[in-house]
Structure 1
């Protein structure tokens, strides 16, 4: 019996040793006992490591010294023991104090220790230092809070989440600003409501989510709809959100309103296109100027030769008719060149009183060629129509431009009606027109017509509804510019499917504007003292120079010829000259340069500038009278007499 008791005692001691060794080997937890009053009765190495006290310092001390002053003032230590005693357990996290006064974040569990009869013997207290874990969790919490604030603070982007089925799960301030919905209105709603009816019908919302899930991203631009029903152009990115196991838990959707950017890009592209067209027109103008100069020089040589022949040959009817036909051909060539210059805007306006019925009859051949056989032309005009004050060449070009637009609007054929009428307009009656007398030239077609948007832009430079290579968009713009510069107005009216009418309002010619001063008295081929007038003719083209000199001689003038500016200046230094007639486009020294040099020698020298085209801003500044090539006897006589008379 005694041996059995000794074995049992040995076994008990052995268990106690094992428990003691277990507790003393634990350093990650402070495990110690308190007596019923809360005084420390045991202390393991973990407690010493956490709290900083060794066993001799702390045994018998009250455990409340581990608590912060605020917790002690609030009675937390006593409350912890009462709770453990009453409920069988107390668990808490909070700040605790080490021996050196530093704080650490602790997870605490207190369990009551009772005898077999249920009497309280004390408490078992386990404390773990969670400072590092709490710091990590706090950093994560701050990071998440900062990210939330960042997302909520963004107003230029709509950033929100969708659940896997496409319903809105979160909503930032940018989404509210761009889309117009408050969070309470939209969270839980399907995101497809932001799409247009056309896109929903096409299945774009579901296709966007399927693409994002399959390919890891969906990116798109298109129209989206705000809460008030208005549309905006959006840049959209959808990314899938997956958990750690790769399961889809939703989508992140970022939307940006780029309507202004899109409009700016479109405006830039339109500006670039306009610049390209303007450069084309500038190049065409330069080409036209060169062609006009050379062609008019050629016509000048032909026309002057024909007129000289007419003056020298006997009056034989068949020869006369042939010469007249040749002269008419030259005039047609000059008209063609004038039209080319008018189209390229290289020719300034020269308004004059124009008989519009005669102009329309004269343009009949060109109209028929331009319109084709499928379109008939009808003209309606009263017996008497006032003359209009306008540049006839430019008006003819404007009429052809309007007719060309009408032709394109009638691909299956139709009728073009040209109507003339005399109108008295009061101020404000017709937009853009002052009160007064006008002639209205209306051109109506039976074509496709225009909607309101197209009609509003029809006269804008470079605007065209025609395909690439089929129009520059300059036709009606040129017409509008001509009428504005002439004191008139272009008025367009049209309805889709009902044809178009273009009204060209032109100021009626006034009688005082039609009067022309006759040649000044005494401006003949002789000076006041009876001496013959000496004219210095300058041209680098030998044919033109010869014919100009012959015409001047036939008019009774004494002529000195020079083939260039340098030769002409030498003549001026040695001989008296009453008049200088010079070509403009010459090598080494152009006409205006010769004029400036000549007036250094003779400041009062009268000068006439002859040119194959009219791009002569410098000549306008010098106030020089001009002769447009090809010119004949009558033009030459008139300009010379007027110049000498001045």
Structure 2
């Protein structure tokens, strides 16, 4: 086929072509003529005449031939163009009907052409796409992927097969397998052409297959059955997680390995070959196996099967190997078999009586212990109905128990059984029904325990449980009260200290002194109440001193009047010249207040409460209504008496009033009288109670007389004793107000004070000032508490003297620091005189 451009060229060159024979003659014949120049002219003419004839013919027909050639070429061009149009139409029809999309882009990615299937699929027009790039037509991620692949084609000059995604007009994602190739247009410019085939459904099918494969893999991994697929050479092709875990490897580590390279066993390998060669599966139960690389596991037992996988022709392509370990079940079975005989011996020699009855409750088996308990021989009991051995009062209940037994209910009960000698014995019976494999009742199995000793111990156990419950209740209250008292004491320390500081700073004649004195007295009373809260902890100790009960009552009059109802008449009858008692004033005041508040509750809105005192001598044979000690010392006792005109109590209630948490009040705690009892017991005292319903109650506290009364502590500021010399004290407390007050007290005594906020800071300060006279150390602090700081200070300097200060009781602190050479302890809140009293022994020793 001659292109149209070639035809035009020949037409323009027709004159040159008509002269072509002359050129052919000149170049072809001229050498022959010249070669014959030496020959005879006549001979030349004769030999070459045909040449002249040919030349003449060329001149005559040259132009005619040229015209014929041109016509022939033109016809061939028309036929070629028709064939091309037919081919183009066929290709266009094929692409349109096949669903294959096509496009053409220039080197910059601008669209030069898109096929009709592409327009129809994405509902676009070529006018909208022409000259635009992918970034203008597609989302950024899609456009970036298209452009990246186009550049690969342009750079390599090779065809590129890729899978790309596109977005349908409705927003769905479709997948396309695209063939991209370099292309030169008519002008020779490079382009990128492409053909695309929709593989969305294929992708979905592949995804479904992949999801199904993953689901099956997950199912196989989730089961505890071990599964393996092996090729005909017994190499691992697929392994589930359960199998790999048992082999202590991962599935990936096992793939490709040979089963018998990992676990060589000639017998098992022969079975595998048999299944592979015959195509018949096998199954084994409880087959023993030992791991060659894990001898510590010992012999294991397995249920396993081996099944062949065949192709359509029946040829074995692989083996499915499934296993389930039965080691624990097999060992349990062996253990049961081994223990049956042992249990027979145990039943015969058990310390508990054992009886087996048939369905009619006749004895079919007894052990030696029941023979001893009942006094019968075994052959005398065999066949005897159980009801014959029961006490008459227990037989009716036994019949009901047997009906429950037939329904499959076990039970435990206490019955009296008649021994051979006619006496009865209490036995605890624990019985369970016996059924056969079909669920038919066959009898009972019962164990009998002698309750002779247990009956006696049960009363002791109940008493112990009651005391334990009481102890736990009081301990819970103690923890709460101790925490509150500790924080409360820190606050009182600040109040008392500032009041004392103000008293020292003001002149004695200042009218404010009286107010400050009242603040100090009230703070000390509050400290006494805080101290009373510590009594609940069970760790407090009494601060014994000589106490005048009359003076104590007078000082507490305002508190008592505030505690009773307004219409209640409060009367005082105090005995003159009352001997002092050795007691803790705070504790006795608390006991008095508890009795007065109870009397107020009993008296209601009106009535009379009488508070009195007196003394008497008790002998060893004297008795009180509520003795708190096993023995009464022969001595003199001063007493405080609280009487009310209320409702009174009967005898039953009177026995419970000192039990913790017992109360008849709607919102009462039930701790008031229990606390009174504890205080009086701690003072080696007694309580007398007299009450009748409708006639009121009288409570009398008797306390031993103090034979050697002590002088009371002098008032703060009455005497000051400064310590000579310039001594340094390290003060450690996390409360700034407490540090300020304590610093003032120490400086008042002549000390130089350095302070620290907590234990860690105290250690740093101590290292910079390693030789203080002593350390005043708070116990409860953040970061590092006082106990930890004390230990670290002693590690830095074993001779350092430390005084612990805390809101907790002295007994608890001394117990925690026992054997650690603690230099002293002072309980918050404290006064200047109290601090001087604690420090004085250290200074004298130094």
Q: Partner residue of 1:565?
A: 762
Deviation at 1:301, TM superposition (A): 2.3
Q: Partner residue of 1:543?
A: 737
Q: Which runs of 5+ in 2 are unaligned?
A: 1-352, 354-373, 376-389, 417-425, 432-448, 624-629
Counterpart contact for 2:636–2:704, Cα < 8 Å = yes
Q: Partner residue of 1:590?
A: 786
Match of 1:285 among 472, 478, 498: 478
Match of 1:303 among 488, 496, 500: 496
Distance 1:496 1:261 in 2: 40
Match of 1:355 among 548, 557, 565: 548
Cα gap change, 1:368 to 1:503, in 2 (>3 Å): same
Counterpart contact for 2:648–2:692, Cα < 8 Å = no
Deviation at 1:296, TM superposition (A): 1.9
1:508-532 C-alpha deviation (Å, 9 max, x unpaired): 12236558899xxxx95344xxx33
- Alignment pair present for 1:395 and 2:588: yes
Q: Partner residue of 2:26?
A: none
Q: Secondary structure at the match of 1:396?
A: helix
Aligned residue-pair number: 458
Match of 2:688 among 492, 504, 508: 492
- Alignment pair present for 1:581 and 2:776: yes
Distance 1:318 1:408 in 2: 41
Counterpart contact for 2:489–2:527, Cα < 8 Å = yes
Cα gap change, 1:370 to 1:271, in 2 (>3 Å): farther
TM-score (norm 2): 0.42
Counterpart contact for 1:342–1:393, Cα < 8 Å = no
Q: Partner residue of 2:804?
A: 609
Q: Partner residue of 2:233?
A: none
Distance 1:434 1:502 in 2: 21
Counterpart contact for 1:536–1:562, Cα < 8 Å = yes
Cα gap change, 1:374 to 1:281, in 2 (>3 Å): farther
Q: Secondary structure at the match of 1:616?
A: helix
Cα gap change, 1:484 to 1:602, in 2 (>3 Å): same
Cα gap change, 1:292 to 1:502, in 2 (>3 Å): same
Q: Partner residue of 2:728?
A: 534
Match of 2:827 among 623, 628, 633: 628
Distance 1:335 1:466 in 2: 26
Counterpart contact for 1:583–1:610, Cα < 8 Å = yes
Counterpart contact for 2:575–2:612, Cα < 8 Å = no
Cα gap change, 1:585 to 1:283, in 2 (>3 Å): same
Counterpart contact for 2:729–2:775, Cα < 8 Å = yes
Distance 1:465 1:439 in 2: 29
Q: Partner residue of 2:843?
A: 644
Deviation at 1:302, TM superposition (A): 3.0
Q: Secondary structure at the match of 2:489?
A: helix
Distance 2:622 2:668 in 1: 33
1:191-214 C-alpha deviation (Å, 9 max, x unpaired): 9x979xxxxxxxx99xx9xx99xx
Cα gap change, 1:356 to 1:512, in 2 (>3 Å): closer
Distance 1:261 1:602 in 2: 56
Distance 2:641 2:415 in 1: 42
Cα gap change, 1:318 to 1:645, in 2 (>3 Å): same
Counterpart contact for 2:566–2:605, Cα < 8 Å = no
Counterpart contact for 1:525–1:532, Cα < 8 Å = no
Q: Secondary structure at the match of 2:730?
A: strand
Deviation at 1:316, TM superposition (A): 7.5
Distance 2:520 2:602 in 1: 38
Greater CA deviation, 339-348 or 383-392?
A: 339-348
Distance 2:541 2:749 in 1: 33
Q: Superposition pairs for residues 249-260 of structure 1, below 5 Å? A: none
Q: Secondary structure at the match of 1:309?
A: helix
1:120-173 C-alpha deviation (Å, 9 max, x unpaired): xxxxxxxxxxxxxxxxxxxxxxxxxxxxxxxxxxxx9xxxxxxxxxxxxxxxxx
Q: Which runs of 5+ in 1 are unaligned?
A: 1-155, 157-175, 178-190, 196-203, 225-231, 238-255
Q: Secondary structure at the match of 1:613?
A: coil
Cα gap change, 1:407 to 1:272, in 2 (>3 Å): farther
Counterpart contact for 1:545–1:561, Cα < 8 Å = no
Q: Secondary structure at the match of 1:535?
A: strand
Deviation at 1:492, TM superposition (A): 3.3
Cα gap change, 1:366 to 1:558, in 2 (>3 Å): closer
Cα gap change, 1:274 to 1:512, in 2 (>3 Å): closer
Deviation at 1:389, TM superposition (A): 0.4
1:2-23 C-alpha deviation (Å, 9 max, x unpaired): xxxxxxxxxxxxxxxxxxxxxx
Counterpart contact for 2:475–2:536, Cα < 8 Å = no
Q: Partner residue of 2:701?
A: 504
Distance 1:408 1:223 in 2: 49
Structure with more contact order per residue of length (Cα contacts < 8 Å, sep ≥ 6)? 1
Cα gap change, 1:469 to 1:321, in 2 (>3 Å): same
Distance 1:362 1:327 in 2: 15
Match of 1:441 among 618, 637, 640: 640
Q: Partner residue of 1:123?
A: none
Deviation at 1:624, TM superposition (A): 3.8
Cα gap change, 1:369 to 1:220, in 2 (>3 Å): farther
Distance 2:509 2:604 in 1: 51
Counterpart contact for 1:450–1:500, Cα < 8 Å = no
Counterpart contact for 1:534–1:560, Cα < 8 Å = yes
Match of 1:450 among 621, 629, 651: 651
Greater gyration radius: 2
Deviation at 1:591, TM superposition (A): 5.1
1:398-454 C-alpha deviation (Å, 9 max, x unpaired): 2234445555655686544333222234444456222223212233446124249x5
Deviation at 1:350, TM superposition (A): 0.9
Superposition CA RMSD, Å: 6.1
Cα gap change, 1:305 to 1:223, in 2 (>3 Å): farther
Cα gap change, 1:358 to 1:223, in 2 (>3 Å): farther
Counterpart contact for 1:565–1:590, Cα < 8 Å = no
Counterpart contact for 1:447–1:500, Cα < 8 Å = yes
Counterpart contact for 1:606–1:644, Cα < 8 Å = no
Match of 1:525 among 722, 743, 747: 722
Distance 1:465 1:602 in 2: 52
Distance 2:544 2:680 in 1: 11
Cα gap change, 1:262 to 1:494, in 2 (>3 Å): farther
Q: Superposition pairs for residues 212-291 of structure 1, below 5 Å? A: 271-272=464-465, 274-291=467-484
Distance 2:672 2:622 in 1: 26
